Amino acid sequence: MLHVEVDGRGPRLVLVHGFTQTGRSWGPVAQDLTRDHEVVWVDAPGHGRSASAMVDMVQGAPLLAEAGGVASYLGYSMGARLALHLALARPDLVTALVLVGGTAGIEDPEARRIRRRDDEVLATELEDVGVPEFVRRWLARPLFSGLTQDSAGVEARLENTEAGLAASLRLAGTGAQESLWPRLPELAMPVLAVAGERDDVFAARAEAMADLIGPNASVALVPGAGHAAHLEAPADFLAIVRPFLERAASPSMS
């Protein structure tokens, strides 16, 4: 089972964090959403107090289902991929889906093999240097240049274990998962694909995913933000996500 924490009252909203984070990593976004949602923070497999859940994305989906139940799901990066797996496996549980900095995987088998090899290198590096040094190197990547020490949530990231994070890379990394691009048209619930305006690669993926999903999907870019758009610009992010969640909860969208 996955560790969860719950706060707030209203429509149920499950938050699924990214790699090296925990359920505590949502910052002001989560606190704001508790004003009118029952917010469920999940420690994803291999992370935080779910470190012992060493599973791949397919195996992780039912664990997320058990943790979240019927709800809207908001996933970031790795968490977006896990939430997407759940939405395809159990669409009856996902009333609306928000994917932040997400992707449906890697289509090309050779590119996926290379990514799997790179993730193995990262897992070995993590085991060699330990969590604090690995987190420092991870956050030094250009992908996270828009984060401050505070918004990066380093304290929560340091709660992770070497074994849990290494298992996540090997089992649930983008190279390990099968491409979900061909299955995107199956999604019938309201879907919002969000990316930072400066996150060119994932902005393009958000557009491509929405195109394949169809008319029930929309795209939004957070102005001036990079990959961790919800942490870099929480107010702008909430200004995008809140109206989507309200529309998704209205009878006309159900």
What is the per-residue pLDDT across 119-134, written as a single tens digit (0 to 9) for each?
Answer: 999 999 999 999 999 9
Sign of the alpha-carbon dihedral angle for 145, 240, 62, 113: negative
* Burial zone of 132 (CB within 10 Å; 0-12 exposed, 13-18 middle, 19+ buried): exposed
SS3 track for the chain:
CCCEEEECCCCEEEEECCCCCCHHHHHHHHHHHCCCCEEEEECCCCCHHHCCCCCCHHHHHHHHHHHHCCEEEEEECHHHHHHHHHHHHCCCCEEEEEEECCCCCCCCHHHHHHHHHHHHHHHHHHHHHCHHHHHHHHHCCHHHCCCCCCCCCHHHHCCCCHHHHHHHHHHHCCCCCCCCHHHHHHCCCCEEEEEECCCHHHHHHHHHHHHHHCCCEEEEEECCCCCCHHHHCHHHHHHHHHHHHHHHHCHHHC
Cα R_g (the chain), whole angstroms: 17
Whole-number pLDDT of residue 250: 79
pTM above 0.85, yes or no: yes
Each residue's pLDDT expressed in tens, for the chain with a length of 254 residues: 999 999 999 999 999 999 999 999 999 999 999 999 999 999 999 999 999 999 999 999 999 999 999 999 999 999 999 999 999 999 999 999 999 999 999 999 999 999 999 999 999 999 999 999 999 999 999 999 999 989 999 999 999 999 999 999 999 999 999 999 999 999 999 999 999 999 999 999 999 999 999 999 999 999 999 999 999 999 999 999 999 999 998 765 44
Whole-number pLDDT of residue 251: 61
Whole-number pLDDT of residue 249: 86
Whole-number pLDDT of residue 237: 98
**Structural domain count, the chain:** 1
- The CATH number covering residue 95 comes to 3.40.50.1820
**Domain ranges, residue 230:** 4-253
- Cα dihedral 194→195→196→197 (10° resolution): -100
Whole-number pLDDT of residue 13: 98
| Token code pair at residue 202 | 């994932």
